[in-house]
Amino acid sequence: MKIYNIYKVSKLYTLILLLLVSIFLSSCNSLTNNQAKSETSTSETTTIGHGDAEITHILVSDIPIHEEPKYNGVYIKKTIDEFNAFGFEYGDSVDIVFSNGYELTDIPYFSGFYTAVGDPLLVAYPGYEYIDACIYNGDGLWSVGNFEPNDTATISLHERGKYLSRETLLKVKYTDDRNDYASDEIFANFRNVKIGNLKKGILYRGASPIDNQHNRARYADDLIEKSHVKYDVNLSDTVKDITDHFNSDDFDSDYFKSLYEEGSVSITPLKMNYKSEEFAKMIVKAMTDMSRNEGPYYIHCLEGKDRTGFLCMIIEGLTGASYEEIIKDYMASYDNYYQVNENSNKEKYNAIKENNIDAMLRFLADNDPYTGNGTIALEDLDWVNIIGRYLEKNGMTEEDIHNFYTKLTEENYHDPD
């Protein structure tokens, strides 16, 4: 009798265990199916007609999305190659409809940031994990669209090649192979900024000496060490980003790490919306940090081109550089990366200049109370006073401006009129 009872209990436990295993496996299958559903999109491609009358319809639906916070965009989870394989081409016009009802209609699909400031686009920027929908140098699209993590996107072709002429005019591309460049300095976009009243050897700019996604970090790190840089201004990384770089398998930037460990790095991650108050406050923070530490200084973001270009523009204008000098320094990055200069392709050079650095300068001028709201040519404006007022308006103290100016120029700063 006792043995029989034990057998019954054992059999009951076995049945219970089998039931629990069955429930567990069912739950796992359900989770896997739901995950697969969330990661799966459908596509349709239809072509009607021939030749000039040919019409192509492309629709890719239910693509998962997630926030891309570093550059204020929304990643649509298709790699560039995957997305292009559906039949989309750079220069096309596309429509994007998100599952929460938000829509972007008739926007360009570009291989770079070739729209005007404040305009939306779908971009396949080299090095990005996925295609990215964003507002160029504008507010973060994730918050503008009020998206949630489970939202999806459906993308369709609006018009084939509508923006192709602009893609062709502004398109630039660089490689990450050191052998394609004439020197370490050109490869790392590295240079001493010595225009206006800046002291020689006090200010340097270039690519990141720590983020190696474009294979330039080791070269930039070697160059800042050779230039005896004492203070680094990092416009790209958060503390977490820096820690992640230190822990990466290809980390080889011991000089930057030594600066970081001794507290000689300004951590000032910028989102490239230079018209925002947040951006202006971060510019003031970077310059205040510089005013309270000794140089030489090194300013960088990832490529050392646009965020770095804006801060260097501010510094150069404040310290007496002319419009022509500011333009020359900004556009040197396009020569280093893409071999675009006034001699190689004047039309492309001018288009890039007008779309980027001229737009930045015009923004400063248009928001200054003494410049006539666009009626005065950029080359005729008093940049020392315009930028001095910009910094004071956004919280930089007179003392810090004076200290900054003295450290970088050895001259006395005169308060704006």
pTM for the whole thing? Answer: 0.85
Strand, coil or helix: what is 51?
helix
CATH 3.90.190.10 domain range(s) in the chain: 181-409
- CA dist., res. 320 & res. 229, Å (int): 23
CATH for the stretch 181-409: 3.90.190.10
> DSSP per residue over 86-104, as a string?
TT--TT-EEEEEETTS-EE
What number of CA atoms fall less than 13 Å from residue 23's CA on the CB side? 6
pLDDT at 48 over 80: no
- CA dist., res. 138 & res. 365, Å (int): 18
CA pseudo-torsion sign 347, 351, 354, 360: negative
pLDDT at 38 over 90: no
User: Which of 282, 337, 331 lies closest to 311 in space, CA to CA?
Assistant: 282
Which band of pLDDT confidence, cut at 50, 70 and 90, is reported for residue 186? Answer: very high
CATH 2.40.30.90 domain range(s) in the chain: 42-166
- CA dist., res. 220 & res. 265, Å (int): 15
Q: What local confidence, expressed as pLDDT, does residue 29 receive?
A: 47
Structure tokens at 114: 């070739």
- The fold of the 42-166 domain, in CATH, is Elongation Factor Tu (Ef-tu); domain 3 (2.40.30)
Digit-coded pLDDT (tens) for 231-285: 999 999 999 999 999 999 999 999 999 999 999 999 999 988 999 999 999 999 9
Q: Long-range contacts made by residues 275-282, C-beta under 8 angstroms, separation at least 24?
A: 275/117, 275/118, 275/137, 275/138, 275/363, 276/139, 277/394, 280/390, 280/393, 280/394, 281/394, 281/395
Four-point Cα dihedral 356, 300, 267, 352, nearest 10: 10
Among the ranges given (57-66, 128-137, 319-328, 365-374), the one the predictor scored with the smallest mean pLDDT? 365-374
Q: Long-range contacts made by residues 2-8, C-beta under 8 angstroms, separation at least 24?
A: none
Of 17 and 364, the structure prediction assigns the larger pLDDT to: 364
Which band of pLDDT confidence, cut at 50, 70 and 90, is reported for residue 410? Answer: confident
Q: What local confidence, expressed as pLDDT, does residue 37 receive?
A: 40
pLDDT at 302 over 90: yes
Provide the 10 A C-beta neighbour count for residue 90. Answer: 19
Segment 145-165 shows an average pLDDT of: 97
Digit-coded pLDDT (tens) for 57-81: 899 999 999 998 877 899 999 999 9
Q: What local confidence, expressed as pLDDT, does residue 55 receive?
A: 63
pLDDT at 50 over 70: no
Q: What share of the chain is helix, strand, coil (3-state, %, to 5)?
A: 45, 20, 40
Cis peptide before 296 (omega within 30 of 0): yes
Q: Which residues of 268-287 are buried (b: 16+ CB within 10 A; e: fewer)?
A: bbbbbbbebeebbebbbbbb
Of 376 and 162, the structure prediction assigns the larger pLDDT to: 162
